[in-house]
Amino acid sequence: MRTRIGIIGAGPAGLLLAWLLQRRGIESVVLERRSREHCERRVRAGVLEQGTVDTLAEAGLGERLAAEGHVHHGIELRFGGAGHRIPFEELVPGRAITVYGQQEVVKDLIKANLDAGVDIRFEVEDVAIEDFEDRPRLTFGGERLDCDFIAGCDGFHGIARAAVPQDRVRIFEKAYPFAWLGVLADVRPSASELVYSASERGFSLHSMRSDTVSRFYLQVPPETKAEDWTHEAIWAELKARHETVPGFTLDTDGPITAVDVAVMRSFVAEPMRFGRLFLAGDAAHIVPPTGAKGLNLAVADIRVLARALGEYYASGSEDLLDRYTEICLHRVWRAQHFSWWMTNLLHAFADADAYDRRLQRSNLEYVVRSRAQATALAENYVGLPYSTDETG
């Protein structure tokens, strides 16, 4: 078999690349080791930046997003017995976030691609990359797929980055001394916007997926397993960390339907191109979820890669392909800093002394009292506008 672009991974990055390429008349094949059902039901991020929403809408994927997504014009920082709203509509007019689960984005992308005739192969066994420098090809299940280029969109633990010799990849990484316990519950949200709560007990986040489904996160020790927590203990701890302001009661009148643990890490692999192999999304970089940047960075990578490949097939120019790493990493490192900053701002560190804790409180108070600091948080949270290189 032969195709122009071989794409590894049917997550948001790989599926969006396939969709944007087919709109440019560029053929691709997507290989995914999981089932379609697994991809469409896997709960991950749910906060879409303004630029991500605009990208999906411009690509003809915005109908269900507009109908079912929840647009938020602010977030709340809760600490010291009070809540403090960061008003996006005042600080960054015209820009907001939309709460729409990653699995919903994946459903929309799978349907659009399959309806358009894009070749997506689920439950593919033994995928391997060969000769990505000159004559790239993918082998899987006894078959061979020759490609012009390969896009590694297969996540942090995928095969794409692992196929590159270690001496050609520079790794920057940081592990955090805690994890997040993620909780999905069939209970109406107790707040109309996301609530980031910092307390001595640890950090907690109140988010939502719909009018009847809430998503919560609890800071927990890094070795925590989901089965370590009973549902009763989860609700008790969520109430303790969120019911810290007068008049607020957390609604717990519904079942918990899923519990998972997310490791907190920062990771960047440089470069993001190796011959005719390109890395995108989590295959190239990971951020702690505090800043809600993971999915949005993947979309930004794919915008650049799709445009670069489109330019190559239209004119033969490799200028954007050659600059792919440079363009993407400019946004990646900005998001890395913001995610690291939000993580340090809001979490309780076990090794923090009295000085560290007072410094952290001072920083929180400065953010909510200074318009300049609040604006910096807001413009990074809703997503910085795309540059000329990213938009074309």
Assign 390 a pLDDT band (cuts: 50, 70, 90). Answer: confident
Q: Is the dihedral of CA 282, 170, 301, 128 positive or negative?
A: negative
Predicted local confidence at residue 248, as pLDDT: 97
In the chain, where the domains are located: 5-72+97-173+265-349
Over residues 361-389, the pLDDT tens digits come to 999 999 999 999 999 999 999 999 999 88
Predicted local confidence at residue 7, as pLDDT: 98
Per-residue pLDDT, averaged over 268-281, amounts to 98
Assign 138 a pLDDT band (cuts: 50, 70, 90). Answer: very high
Residue 196 is among the residues annotated as catalytic for this protein:
yes
Catalytic residue (one of 100, 176, 217, 381): 381
Nearest to 154 by CA among 317, 267, 11: 11
Residue 222 is among the residues annotated as catalytic for this protein:
no
Predicted local confidence at residue 270, as pLDDT: 98
Residue 293 is among the residues annotated as catalytic for this protein:
yes
Predicted local confidence at residue 42, as pLDDT: 85
Residues linked to residue 97 through DSSP beta bridges, in sequence order: 72
Residue 381 is among the residues annotated as catalytic for this protein:
yes
Catalytic residue (one of 289, 312, 324, 347): 289
Collapse the DSSP code of 307 into the 3-class scheme (helix H, G, I; strand E, B; otherwise coil) and give the result: helix
Average per-residue pLDDT for the chain: 96
Joined together, the tokens standing for residue 290 give: 């505090």
Predicted local confidence at residue 88, as pLDDT: 98
Predicted local confidence at residue 392, as pLDDT: 66
pLDDT for 102 beyond 70: yes
CA distance 85 to 77: 6
Q: Is the dihedral of CA 257, 263, 264, 265 positive or negative?
A: negative
Q: Where are the alpha helices (DSSP H) in the chain?
A: 12-23, 36-41, 50-58, 63-68, 88-91, 102-115, 159-162, 231-242, 294-315, 319-322, 324-346, 354-369, 371-382, 388-391
Predicted local confidence at residue 391, as pLDDT: 77
Catalytic residue (one of 12, 72, 217, 242): 72
Of all residues in the chain, what percent carry a pLDDT higher than 90? 96
Per-residue pLDDT, averaged over 39-56, amounts to 92
Residue 289 is among the residues annotated as catalytic for this protein:
yes
Nearest to 199 by CA among 231, 237, 170, 228: 237
CA distance 206 to 215: 6
Segment among 22-36, 107-121, 347-361, 378-392 with least mean pLDDT:
378-392
With 0-12 CB in 10 A as exposed, 13-18 as middle and 19+ as buried, what is 260? middle
Predicted local confidence at residue 46, as pLDDT: 86
Catalytic residue (one of 100, 176, 196, 217): 196
Catalytic residue (one of 293, 312, 324, 347): 293
Task: Please state which CATH number belongs to domain 5-72+97-173+265-349.
Answer: 3.50.50.60
